[in-house]
Amino acid sequence: MPSRKKKRLIRFTLLIVLSALLTLAAYIGYQWWLYGRARFVRYPEFGISIPAEYSIHGIDVSKYQQLIAWDQVKAMQVKEIKLGFAFIKATEGIGNVDPQFKRNWKRSKDAGMIRGAYHFFLPTKDGRMQAQNFIKAVNLNTGDLPPVLDIEQTYGVTKEILRSEVREWLTIVETNYNVRPIIYTNIDFYKQNLGEEFDNYPLWVAHYYQPRQPRIKRDWVFWQHNDNGRVNGVLSAVDFDVFSGDSAEFSQLLIK
């Protein structure tokens, strides 16, 4: 016969297991509820001013958009404008992976979206370790966009250290994927902290609410022009982007 102490231990263990299962079931149920809402959310317009003179439009997303119904994103069309690509947050710092990355990475491709992955850079962390974090999480295939380094803040690090760690990340990632990475940042940060030293890297520049193009002298390949768009299949606001060239130039940019 089990002792009273052993019986209590068994009951306690069963209670913990049951509690964990109920928590997991509640989480899964909540995720399905969110996805159900996303599948049926519809917007009559994108909700923002779209620079219609560009022919290739896209969005960028992360965990903050929660569960995305990618088939609805792909199908949405307002007048002549459809969304053809998506940049998806993959990693941050030396050990963080966006909790929605794997799902977004697979589902966006399944829906026929051209996809790209980006790393949110922390200047206070080692550039090599951050590059390894990205490489471990992201498997780039033919037809994907080049890898992206998202660098927006200094976190108090000197300009010299920041540039050194950024160079380390870019070099390692370029060597691994055999393609030159894209730098994402805003105009002021680029001018003040990066500048001419990084002018030979493709630029994805953020400059909101401009009518025709970002106000920057150097060439750019992508422009994040708004952070408050609306897309079918996404519950929250979305960043909107355009590509600078035509379909032939866009095809040339993709991984071969």
Decide if 152 is catalytic.
Answer: yes
Cα angle 80, 83, 87 (rounded to 5 degrees) comes to 155
Q: How many CA atoms lie within 13 A of 236 on its CB side?
A: 11
Q: Which of 152, 168, 174, 227 is catalytic?
A: 152
Report, in angstroms and rounded to the nearest whole number, the Rg of the chain calculated over CA atoms: 22
Decide if 60 is catalytic.
Answer: yes
Longest CA pairwise span in the chain (Å): 83
Q: Which long-range contacts (CB under 8 A, 24 or more apart) does 131-136 make?
A: 131/168, 131/169, 131/172, 131/173, 131/176, 132/94, 132/172, 133/91, 133/93, 133/94, 133/95, 133/96, 133/97, 134/90, 134/91, 134/169, 134/173, 135/172, 135/173, 135/176
For the annotated catalytic residues, the residue numbers are: 60, 152
